[in-house]
Structure 1
Amino acid sequence: MIHYIEPHQKLLFKKQRIQLNNRGYKVAKGIYVKITLAGRRSQAAITTGSAAAVVTDILTL
């Protein structure tokens, strides 16, 4: 996995955050990433989790 690591594209370089090189969340055959490791901001993880909770609540009504 080490050869897929690159600096995070959307965060300040001085924070030294990483992401995995990916195309459409796919790193390599059978290897997928989400949110921060895919190069998205961590706020997206929060909203994704919240949205999933809401959808689950709606589907269980």
Structure 2
Amino acid sequence: MRDDFHSQAWAENHRQLSTAIHKLGRSVFAVFEKLQALQFDAPWRVRQTKREKATCGPAA
């Protein structure tokens, strides 16, 4: 078991494992970038949705 990294299976497949880990890392990084952009974006840049007019008193 201690020489598992020297086995034939590891020699043939370590590139695929490294690629999969790299893709996972890039995906996680992209998600955190989007989250950070949403949390710390300037509030004056956010487009307001059209609001309904406020009514005073009971509706007629």
How would you bin the TM-score normalised by the shorter chain?
0.3 to 0.5
TM-score, length-normalised on structure 2? 0.38
Q: Quick one: higher RCO (CA 8 Å, sep 6+), 1 or 2? A: 1
Q: Going by fraction, where is helix more abundant, 1 or 2?
A: 2
Q: Going by fraction, where is strand more abundant, 1 or 2?
A: 1
> Which has more radius of gyration?
2
